[in-house]
Structure formats: structure tokens, C-alpha cells
């Protein structure tokens, strides 16, 4: 993500094809790393590539259809987090310089990384699978 921020600072707007290809490659690698990290730390219902599965699970496990509804809160938080991130990202992309959404993403990644490292060192029951 840091490489994408640097690319955004040195390229012109509109983004030329060489920089566009570099952005795609760098952001694809960042997305792959993010998915691998989420899978490794086993965050339930929060993998970005299966948001539709989270929404489907919310409906399928609902008490309205005879399910237990036991994970509805966690799933709603996951859906809300992704929705808020998408809205903020879209606003930044449409109304700010190219580097702002990337800097915001990098900042959030750093905050979450520090938080996960600290949370992972505890023996609290909520951190166990």
C-alpha cells in the first residue's frame, strides 16, 4: 500500500497507462496480502472476498427463517464496516486527490495491524477460536 501511495504522489492526473498498470499490480498484491492475513488470523465473517457469503449467512441463519441468529451481530458489524469503508473510499476517490484514499487505507492498515498484534498477545477468551 505504501508503494501505491508513492506512485500516486509521482503520477499525473489522469493516470497514464504505465502508472495505471503499476497501480493495478501493486494494489492486487496488497489485496492478496490482506486476504492472506485475514485468513491466517482467522477473522470470522470479515474476509473481503466473501462479503456475499456473510450476507447470505445472515439471512440463512436468521430467526425469521428458523435459524439461531447466533452470529447476526458479528455479521452486521462486518457488513457495516465494509459499507462504511466503501462509502468513505468512494467519496475520497471522487472528491479528493488520488493519494488521499490510498493514504487513508494505509493509515487504517497500520492501525489494524498494531491492534491485531496487541490483541494476539493476550490470552483473553474472545481472542481464541
16-70: per-residue pLDDT in tens?
888 888 888 998 898 888 777 777 777 666 655 667 777 777 777 877 777 777 6
Report the distance separating Cα 27 and Cα 87, nearest Å.
19
What pLDDT, on the 0 to 100 scale, is given for residue 60? 78
Report the distance separating Cα 31 and Cα 25, nearest Å.
10
- Structural domain harbouring 112: 2-127
pTM here is 0.62
Percent of the chain with pLDDT over 70: 85
Report the number of distinct structural domains present in the chain: 1
Can the peptide bond before residue 90 be classed as cis, meaning omega within 30 degrees of 0?
A: no
Q: Which of 97, 98, 45 is nearest to 72 (CA)?
A: 45
Report the distance separating Cα 40 and Cα 113, nearest Å.
13
What pLDDT, on the 0 to 100 scale, is given for residue 44? 65
Amino acid at each position: 500500500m505504501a508503494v501505491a501511495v508513492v506512485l500516486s504522489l509521482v503520477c499525473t492526473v489522469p493516470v497514464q497507462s504505465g502508472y495505471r498498470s503499476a497501480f493495478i499490480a501493486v494494489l492486487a498484491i496488497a489485496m492478496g496480502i490482506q486476504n492472506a492475513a485475514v485468513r491466517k488470523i482467522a477473522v470470522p465473517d470479515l474476509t473481503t472476498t466473501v462479503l456475499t457469503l456473510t450476507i447470505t449467512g445472515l439471512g440463512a441463519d436468521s430467526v425469521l427463517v428458523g435459524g439461531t441468529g447466533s452470529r447476526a451481530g458479528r455479521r452486521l458489524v462486518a457488513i457495516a464496516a465494509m459499507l462504511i469503508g466503501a462509502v468513505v473510499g468512494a467519496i475520497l476517490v471522487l472528491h479528493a486527490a488520488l493519494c488521499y484514499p490510498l493514504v487513508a487505507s494505509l493509515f487504517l492498515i497500520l492501525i489494524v495491524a498494531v491492534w491485531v498484534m496487541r490483541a494476539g498477545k493476550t490470552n483473553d477468551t474472545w481472542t481464541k477460536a
